């Protein structure tokens, strides 16, 4: 073989080697960037976001803040902002079956219906609603909302009052709706079960003087709820099944329910896993400041936020990974259908983080307010 041929072969080999190395580096970089627990993108909203997010079936993210309601596409680009009045942050957004987004804005005194283009459809005047309370949506589209004027409101999709039920105290957390249409509301240390016509079915008195925790509903209709330092399990007729002590006064984290019926709750610096029989399965210690509700992925992974970290914990109670933010995490995690996890932080950013879960678990109650549309209804969501 001549020297010229040898040089040509060497040049070809060098080019092929360079191309192969480039492909390997590209693939490894891509795999690394998509690795669970790594940042996908972040969006600078400006102010801290305290409420949970809502995600439409098309992947549009809705986030509420002091500045209003934000619509953000799946790549992290802003679609529009609907500004709300007053200094009070808006409630967690809720998405109706036609895409209408509902929030409590204007200082906490008006339920607002906003279309998919960011335009106001109507407003409904209520009593003062706490910023973390949002409406729930019944199977027929009726909106249910609790207020500190001791009222549970039922409002139709045109913004008209259907009925109003008076409780003994203010309703300070979001509601839940059973598969039979029963609305469950908490006030003055009691749980009220109210039918879809506004009539009381039963009332359960907890040992606590106040009611802080949202309700989660099991497959058999059992209610899981916290008041002061206990997690209660109550059957669908209003009878106590069991109670579990977590050690923290005034639980504020919503329970969530796994694929096997395990109940998870974030309390007292721990993620607690409680068997459906009411005994402890395991607990995982985390650092905490605000007590945020966990969420369960399609593969059973439980995601829970502490002060600076998002933890991914497998169903046996072992850490898979964690992601650190620069400042305190201020909103509970939400999982989109493609596995993206969304978080809000005090630094004014919305974080989008890769995970290996493909959406929510197909369990009775995988997240706060049940589903990504935040309907708060058993069997709800798209």
**DSSP notation for 323-339:** EE-SS-B-S--EE-TTS
Q: Is residue 155 part of a domain?
A: yes
Q: Is the pLDDT of residue 21 over 90?
A: no
| 270 three-state secondary structure | strand
Strand 319-324 to 349-353 pairing: unpaired
End-to-end CA distance of the chain: 69
Q: What is the C-alpha separation between 272 and 282, in angstroms, rounded?
A: 6
Backbone angles phi, psi at 106, to 5 degrees: 55, 50
Q: Is residue 346 part of a domain?
A: yes
In which region does residue 238 sit, left (phi positive, over 0), alpha (psi from -120 to 50) or beta (all else)? Answer: left
Query: Cα 374 to chain center, whole Å?
Result: 7
CATH of the domain at 234: 2.130.10.10
State both tokens at 3.
Answer: 């020297």
Largest CA distance in the chain: 99
Q: What is the C-alpha separation between 361 and 342, in angstroms, rounded?
A: 16
State both tokens at 352.
Answer: 């989008």
Residue with tokens 């798209």: 382
Q: Is residue 363 part of a domain?
A: no
What's the pLDDT band for 356 if we cut at 50, 70, 90? very high
Q: Is residue 374 part of a domain?
A: no
Q: Is residue 234 part of a domain?
A: yes
Q: Is the pLDDT of residue 200 over 90?
A: yes
Q: Is the pLDDT of residue 29 over 80?
A: no
Q: What angle do CA 186, 191, 193 make, to 5 degrees?
A: 105
pLDDT at 352: 97
State both tokens at 214.
Answer: 């949202």
A 10 A CB-CB count for 182 gives 20
State both tokens at 174.
Answer: 């979001």
Q: Is residue 311 part of a domain?
A: yes
Yes or no: say if 335 and 354 are a contact pair by the CB < 8 Å rule.
no
pLDDT at 9: 57
State both tokens at 166.
Answer: 């008076």
DSSP secondary-structure letter at 158? T
The answer to whether the pTM exceeds 0.75 is: yes
Q: Is residue 270 part of a domain?
A: yes
232-275 pLDDT tens trace:
999 999 999 999 987 655 556 789 999 999 999 988 788 999 99
- Higher pLDDT pick, 323 / 13: 323
Yes or no: say if 54 and 92 are a contact pair by the CB < 8 Å rule.
yes
Q: What is the C-alpha separation between 234 and 299, in angstroms, rounded?
A: 28
Yes or no: say if 139 and 339 are a contact pair by the CB < 8 Å rule.
no
| Domain hosting residue 82, numbered range | 39-353
Nearest to 207 by CA among 264, 249, 174, 263: 249
Q: Is residue 247 part of a domain?
A: yes
Strand 110-114 to 101-105 pairing: antiparallel
Exposed / middle / buried, residue 107 (Cβ in 10 Å: 0-12, 13-18, 19+): middle
In which region does residue 87 sit, left (phi positive, over 0), alpha (psi from -120 to 50) or beta (all else)? Answer: alpha
Number of domains in the chain: 1
Percent of the chain residues past pLDDT 90, beyond the cut: 56
């Amino acid at each position: 073989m001549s020297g010229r041929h040898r040089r040509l072969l060497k040049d070809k080999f060098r080019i092929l080697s360079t191309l192969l190395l480039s492909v390997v580096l590209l693939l490894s970089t891509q795999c690394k960037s998509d690795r669970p627990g790594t940042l996908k993108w972040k969006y600078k909203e400006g102010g801290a976001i305290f409420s949970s997010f809502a995600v439409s079936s098309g992947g549009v993210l809705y986030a509420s803040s002091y500045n209003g309601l934000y619509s953000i596409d799946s790549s992290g680009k802003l679609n529009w902002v609907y500004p709300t009045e007053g200094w009070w942050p808006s409630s967690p957004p809720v998405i109706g079956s036609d895409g209408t987004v509902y929030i409590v804005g204007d200082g906490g005194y008006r339920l607002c219906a906003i279309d998919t283009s960011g335009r106001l459809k109507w407003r409904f005047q209520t009593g003062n609603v706490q910023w973390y309370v949002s409406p729930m949506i019944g199977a027929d589209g009726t909106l249910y909302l609790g207020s500190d004027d001791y009222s549970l409101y039922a409002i139709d999709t045109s913004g008209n009052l259907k009925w109003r039920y008076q409780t003994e105290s203010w309703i300070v957390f979001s509601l839940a709706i059973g598969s039979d249409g029963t609305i469950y509301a908490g006030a003055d240390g009691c749980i009220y079960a109210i039918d879809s016509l506004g009539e009381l079915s039963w009332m359960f008195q907890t040992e606590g003087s106040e009611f802080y925790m949202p309700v989660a509903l099991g497959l058999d209709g059992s209610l899981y709820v916290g008041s002061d330092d206990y997690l209660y399990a109550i059957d669908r007729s209003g009878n106590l099944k069991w109670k579990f002590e977590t050690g923290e006064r005034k639980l504020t984290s919503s329970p969530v329910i796994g694929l096997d019926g395990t109940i998870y709750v974030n309390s007292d610096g721990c993620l607690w896993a409680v068997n459906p029989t009411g005994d402890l399965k395991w607990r995982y210690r985390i650092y905490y400041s605000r007590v945020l509700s966990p969420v369960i992925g399609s593969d059973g992974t439980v995601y829970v936020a502490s002060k600076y970290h998002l933890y991914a914990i497998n169903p046996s109670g072992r850490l898979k990974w964690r992601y650190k933010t620069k400042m305190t995490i201020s909103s509970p995690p939400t999982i989109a259908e493609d596995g993206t996890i969304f978080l809000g932080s005090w630094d004014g950013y919305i974080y989008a983080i890769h995970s290996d879960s493909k959406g929510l678990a197909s369990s009775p109650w995988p997240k706060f307010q049940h589903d990504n549309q935040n309907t708060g209804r058993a069997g709800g969501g798209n």
